[in-house]
Amino acid sequence: MVTLFENPHESALAMFLLQVFITLIVCKILAKLLSFIGQPQVIGQIIAGIIFGPSILGYAKGWSSAIWPASTLKIFQLIANLGLIFFMFFLGLELDLNQIKANWKVTIPVACVSIIVPVGIGCAVALWFYELNDGIVASKTAFILFIASGFGFSAFPVLATLLNSMNLLNEPIGIQTICLAAVEDIVVWVVLAVASAFSSGGSALQGLYTLLLTLAFIAIMIFIIRPIFNRIHGFYLQRHDDCNVYIVVGCFLLLLIASFTTEVMGIHAFFGAFIAGLCIPRKGELVEFLSIRIELLIVEFFLPLYFANSGLKTRLNLLNTGRSWWTLAILIILASVSKIIPVTIATKICARKSWYYCASMGVLMNTRGIVQLVVLNIGVQLKVISPVIFAMFVLMATILTLLTSPILSFLYKRDSDPKILEESKTAYDLHMVLEGENNLNRPSIDKNDLSNGTITAIVETKRLSTSSNNENGQRRKSSRMTLF
């Protein structure tokens, strides 16, 4: 008897391709629907994972065994983590190092406030939550540290994707926020190392050891690896060949070894990938060459897999009592207040920006997600945190991230200077007159009545517009050459 089609469950590759196909379709549909209310596509990806998991479709008979059998989850998670590593490398490429250096006086004090206050409140919340940790017998110190980590830290990958989708990644607010999140990310893994040590009966010295290793890794990458790579890149740049295959492969090898190093150190591999991206030389066309080829595949293919994977372990059906829901409401309020208010006040003192700008920073830093899920997943695996508390934190992260985009849009629009907007409009009108293209029946404008500032704005507007069009045209052309 001839068999036309093999059973897909017998092929790990076939099941993976089926899972990716379903994930991408659902993520795109949800992203499109949520875009009508101003939400970035990352929200749709997180919700898709929750839908796939035991909270919703898990109730359907045969769904998990047919589409998400347990034997395939490790492969799906591995590929998803690989996508996250490349995305963090892409973020490192995109960040402007000069702006990062210029903002360190703001980053350090604001980061201290952004960590100390929420983590302190998180420790107090952990004492309250310890009574809800039914059926779990673990070290109280480990439980407090895990809850404080999940409560007090922002989500680096989710925040980065949100800024990237809103075109704020290279704006001043995006640079400062990413710097803050990077500092928090280092601290959260140190706290996690200490918590893991306590949960297994180890010593807190393990956390100090991890911190020292992290600082040593950053120093080696910045002060040794980066200058060596710059010299090699400069050699090829003088010959107008800085995008040759050897340099590109060298960039990926640096990505892999940096990710491997931070992974075996006890910090997540994506932190090493981010540092590797920062070490890539900015001169020449190398950064643009790499960014164009990485962005589309990673953002549209791999990231949905990572965010969907996070929802597969979430069991919202455990929140089936009134006490669980009002506890969740209080948790959301405390988490928001403990992050937004301290960051807003600290940014106002250190950066001396408008209150709207400072409040926008606080709202961005209140973004939660993957970091919390990773930390709390480890807590569940170590039998320190119960599934009920884990489900609360997942729902809290989703709601707070869902609220970030509309609140940020309101605050950031209010931060715009009306005078600047009016000057831009006047400059545009004059530009139309001078080009002979004003067919909108506007009143005539006397050039003698215009201020030097307005004329300067016209010239700058035309220059930026021309430059932007040329760069976009080159970027689109390069992208088409890559894809086809």
- Assign residue 195 the CATH number of its domain: 1.20.1530.20
From the number of C-beta atoms within 10 Å of its C-beta (0-12, 13-18, 19+), residue 425 rates as exposed
397, 248: one domain: yes
- Is there a domain that residue 20 lies in? no
Q: In the Cβ-directed half-sphere of 62, how many Cα atoms lie within 13 Å?
A: 1
CA distance 288 to 67: 38
Domain end: 360, 380, 414, which one?
414
410, 422: one domain: no
Calculate the CA 231 to chain-centre distance.
31
- Are the C-beta atoms of residues 114 and 345 closer than 8 Å to each other? no
Domain end: 414, 436, 466, which one?
414
- Is there a domain that residue 13 lies in? no
Q: How many residues does the chain have?
A: 484
- Is there a domain that residue 63 lies in? no
277, 289: one domain: yes
- Is there a domain that residue 185 lies in? yes
171, 262: one domain: yes
How many other C-beta atoms can be found within 10 angstroms of the C-beta atom of residue 466? 10
332, 446: one domain: no
314, 393: one domain: yes
Locus of tokens 């609220």: 403
332, 431: one domain: no
CA distance 53 to 49: 6
The mean pLDDT values, 10 residues at a time, for the chain of 484 residues are: 67 89 91 80 80 81 82 86 85 73 79 87 84 68 80 72 75 81 72 66 65 85 92 90 90 94 80 88 88 83 80 75 84 89 90 85 80 69 77 82 80 53 41 45 43 42 45 42 31
- Is there a domain that residue 93 lies in? yes
Domain around 114: 78-414
248, 358: one domain: yes
- Is there a domain that residue 21 lies in? no
- Is there a domain that residue 334 lies in? yes
180, 283: one domain: yes
- Is there a domain that residue 321 lies in? yes
284, 381: one domain: yes
359, 463: one domain: no
CA distance 433 to 429: 6
Domain end: 414, 432, 451, which one?
414
Quick one: how many helices (H) and strands (E) in the chain? 21, 0
The structural domain count of the chain equals: 2
120, 144: one domain: yes
- Are the C-beta atoms of residues 217 and 272 closer than 8 Å to each other? yes
Residues near 419 by beta carbon (within 8 Å), at least 6 away in sequence: none
CA distance 393 to 36: 26
**DSSP state at residue 321:** S
CA distance 15 to 76: 9
- Are the C-beta atoms of residues 367 and 166 closer than 8 Å to each other? no
CA distance 311 to 405: 21
